[in-house]
Structures are given as C-alpha cells and as structure tokens.
Structure 1
Amino acid sequence: MAITAQMVKELRAKTGAGMMDCKKALTETNGDMDQAIDFLREKGIASAAKKADRIAAEGTTFIQSEGNTAVILEVNAETDFVAKNEGFQTLVKELAAELLAKKPATVEEALETEMPNGKKMSEHINEAIAKIGEKITLRRFELKTKGDNDAFGEYLHMGGRIGVLTLLEGTTDVEAAKDVAMHAAALNPKFISRAQVSEEEVAREREVLTQQALNEGKPENIVAKMVEGRLGKFFEDICLVDQTFVKNPDQKVRQFVESKGATVKDFIRYEVGEGLEKRQDNFAEEVMSQVKK
C-alpha cells in the first residue's frame, strides 16, 4: 500500500513521533493506522504523545554565548527531579547550541530546524521524552547580539531556576555585566528605565496614588507633591537603573554602570514556570475530586 504524506501527518498528530518514524511504522504495518500506533508504542517512540496533556512547569533556564551572539532559553519538565537529570541537562545544552547556530525567530520555527543528527528539534525532544519519561517542552528563548565593545552578563541562580542575560554597551567588562544580571535576578525589575514605562501605566499609578493620599486625609494642596514622591518609589521598584544596587546600597544601578563607562542596553530575566500552572496544584485538584466522590 502506498504511504501518503497525509497518512504520515495523521500518525504524527496521534503519536507525537517523528516523520521518518511514522513513515517506517506505516510501511511496516501496510498502512494500518491502529497497527502503526501500536508499532510506535512498542518501540517507545509514541510515549511522548501520552504525556502531551501533562503539566510541565518545572525545568531550567540556560544561557549560552558565542562571540557577539547569546541565547537565553527555558526548557520545562514535569518535576524538579528530572530537571536535574543529566540527560535533560544535555538536551538543554544541545537546544541552546542549535538556537545559536540557526537563529530561528520563534519556538515554532526552532522546532522545525534540523539538529546535527539529522532530526528535527521537535523529534529530538520527543526522543528525550521517551527516554526520560516526562513531558519536556522548549517554552521560550531570546537571541541577542552585541558589538565588539559591549559585554554580555550571564547569571543562573539556583542552578537555572532563574536566568538573566544582560547587555551593557560601552564596556567589555563581563564581570560588571554579570553583577547587573545578578541584581536583576534578585530584584526582578520590569523595565530598564522610566522611558520604557508607558504613559498609560504612569497615569494609572498616579491616579491610584492620588486616591490613596486623599483617603489618608492629606490636604489637597500637598497631595500632588506627595504623589510625585511616591511615583519615584514606584519607578525604583520596577526600573532596573533606578534600583538600589544589591552589591552596594550606596549606589543606584545606573551609577554603577556609568562608573564602568557603560549603559544598560537590554536585559532578559526568565524564572522557571512563571505564569504556568504548577503540577502540584493540578495534583491537589485531582485528589480533592476523588475525595468528593
């Protein structure tokens, strides 16, 4: 029986296996879809599909640089135990090297790139899932480039629980750039400077602070001055260069960077699982649903 591209696509959708594995399975079973699924399951290749609906909110961040290009990525697994597995760590490094080499624009594009072993990244991840036994996903990544007179700062906290990549312009002081990355890991700023905060967000915060002051019974003639002072504290909380430098409380981050003759061009901070539902929460719901039955 002739094996069509549509048949291969359907089997891939049902099993999560790679294209060549699906084609081989269909060939071996003369195009019988159910038998092909069993064939892949017997080979351990379809195990990735069975884990597709699980929650992967653990994992690690990782940073790799080569010359004037750097990548920061987050790869998720289901448990912290697997995140520390040597096979998982090797996979993360392989994905980082591929992202640096191919420079895809999106995760979807990355998953279609061909790894050195000739398989697509998605297939390579599925093979790791089959071996490791947990759902694994490349959640996100960012590629950054710098000039010859600039510096990347790379910092992984708690073995990759938090990853920060900074880019300082005007200095090649890698240690200074790393110090800024460590600071961002600790204080979690949202913006580089006040210039990045939208007018709408500032107006909303000013309105909230104004109402707070009025509710405190402050005279209207001093409320405006109080609000501006509190806005300064608001910017200190969310803007990297306005924050008090963790390694020297007598300095702002801006002052530290300027002392190196540099400016902060960019930073990316990833924290594993941020914004994702946690596996244990899901497990608790399952237990409660059983108790109520």
Structure 2
Amino acid sequence: MSKKISAENIKELRYKTGAGMSDCKNALEATGGKIDLAIENLRKKGLASADKKLTRIAAEGVIQSYIHTGSRIGVLVEINCETDFVARQKEFNKLAKNIAMQIAACQSVKYISIDQIPQNVIESEKNIEYQKNDISDKPDIIKDQIVKGRIEKRLKELSLLDQPFIKDVNVSIEELIKEHISLLGENIKIRRFERFILGDGVEKKLNNFSKEVSEMVHS
C-alpha cells in the first residue's frame, strides 16, 4: 500500500526545489514520502535547476564568521538567500561556514568572481607577465598566447567562485553554491567578505634589545 502524500509535504518539497506541484507529488510518491530522497529524485531529473534561480533577488541570509586556530586569521562573509526560512536552515548555515573557511584558507582570493576584478588590476597583471624574462625573446604572437593563458589562470586564483572546495577538490565553490540552490530551492549569492590577518598593514618595529639596555645604562 502506497504512503498517502499530504498537501503539506508537496508544498514543502516545492518550496525547497522550485519544481512544479505535480512533479513534487510524483517524486514523493516514488520515494515513499521521504523529502530528502524526493529532492534527489528531482535533482537527477533536472527539475530543480539552479541556473533558473540565479536571477532571483536574494536579500535575506546570514553574516558568518570564522576564526582560524591560533586566532591569527579571521573572516566575515555575507551569504544571501531569498527568505528568512532558508537562512535558518542548517544546510544554509553550514554552507556559509564552509565558505568562510574557504576564504581563510585561500590567501590569494580577493574577489568573489572574475567579472568583479577591476580592469586596472587585470592590466597590471598583464604588464607583469609581459615583462617576465622567460618570454622576452619569443615572437609577439606566441608571447600573447602565453600571457593570455597565464592571465586566465591568475584571475581564477583571485576569484572565490573558481576555487576548488577545500573539503572536496572535485567541486568548485560555484558548483557547491549551485548544489545548495537546488537543495534549498532558492537563489544563493556570496555578497561580500572581509579577511582579517593579525598585524596586517602594521609596520612592525624590530627592537635591538642590547642597544636599548646600553642606552638605559648610559643615560
């Protein structure tokens, strides 16, 4: 005897995946009313497409923090979703924590995505590459190809979304976010982040202890 699927379960699944009512009902019936299995069922069929949700407004969410062991590196990151309901979900908060850890681990990352990198930064990186000795004697057309490849690699190093996820290097941060969009049924965006490194930007004074003692004795 098949499990009776309630309207509440169908509504919950539709809310989490964005799939149609009939698709949600069929998925629940196929999985015995188990929400998690039904979500996976819909994902496999492509009915919970993340790409369709990427243009939806995301103004709710959380500001997550991460302090690395030793308290020398800290991160604040704002992750947005569409509703307060999803912002309270453990999966969303776990994602936010993982993103904060990723930022702490990737010191080269300075921007959320490649399209946010200012043109002057790109031009500066190009100038650096063109001046490197290992390509100085190459023909211009070869030089341009080498620099193009190196710049593409460099821009990915600066971009958070292009980083391999530290807990699963087979998945990029962009793919990780899309997985959660499908799972939670809402658009999810990394809005901004700030990395704090202890002593960063402070001119450290190196004291000559022997000189200090000598000056104190003879003063």
Pairwise same-fold verdict (TM > 0.5): yes
Is the CA contact 1:193–1:239 (under 8 Å) kept in the aligned structure 2? yes
Residue 210 of structure 2 is matched in structure 1 by 287
SS in 1 for 2:95: helix
Number of positions where the alignment pairs a residue of Structure 1 with one of Structure 2: 144
SS in 2 for 1:203: helix
Distance verdict in 2 for CA 1:245–1:217, change over 3 Å = farther
SS in 1 for 2:202: coil
User: Superposed, which structure 2 residues align to 1:1-293 within 5 Å?
Assistant: 147-148=59-60, 150-170=61-81, 172=87, 173-188=92-107, 189-212=109-132, 215=135, 217-261=137-181, 262-278=188-204, 281-282=205-206, 284-288=207-211, 290=213
TM-score scaled by length of structure 1: 0.44
Q: 1:38-67: CA deviations, max 9, x gaps?
A: xxxxxxxxxxxxxxxxxxxxxxxxxxxxxx
In the aligned structure 1, how far is the partner of 2:119 from the partner of 2:208?
41
Q: Which amino acid aligns with 2:114?
A: R
SS in 2 for 1:223: helix
In the aligned structure 2, how far is the partner of 1:250 from the partner of 1:291?
59
Q: Which amino acid aligns with 1:265?
A: R
Q: Which amino acid aligns with 2:115?
A: A
In the aligned structure 2, how far is the partner of 1:213 from the partner of 1:258?
41
Unaligned runs of 5+ in 2: 1-57, 182-187
Q: CA deviation at 1:216?
A: 5.0
Distance verdict in 2 for CA 1:290–1:196, change over 3 Å = farther
Q: Which amino acid aligns with 2:98?
A: D
In the aligned structure 2, how far is the partner of 1:288 from the partner of 1:215?
48
SS in 1 for 2:129: helix
SS in 2 for 1:242: coil
Is the CA contact 1:190–1:238 (under 8 Å) kept in the aligned structure 2? yes
Is the CA contact 2:78–2:192 (under 8 Å) kept in the aligned structure 1? yes
Unaligned runs of 5+ in 1: 1-145
Residue 118 of structure 1 is matched in structure 2 by none
Is the CA contact 1:214–1:220 (under 8 Å) kept in the aligned structure 2? no
Distance verdict in 2 for CA 1:231–1:157, change over 3 Å = same
In the aligned structure 2, how far is the partner of 1:201 from the partner of 1:289?
44
Q: CA deviation at 1:159?
A: 4.8
Is the CA contact 1:153–1:175 (under 8 Å) kept in the aligned structure 2? no
Q: 1:91-132: CA deviations, max 9, x gaps?
A: xxxxxxxxxxxxxxxxxxxxxxxxxxxxxxxxxxxxxxxxxx
SS in 2 for 1:158: coil
Q: CA deviation at 1:205?
A: 1.0
SS in 2 for 1:274: coil
SS in 1 for 2:166: coil
Aligned-pair identity in percent equals 26
Q: CA deviation at 1:199?
A: 1.2
TM-score scaled by length of structure 2: 0.57
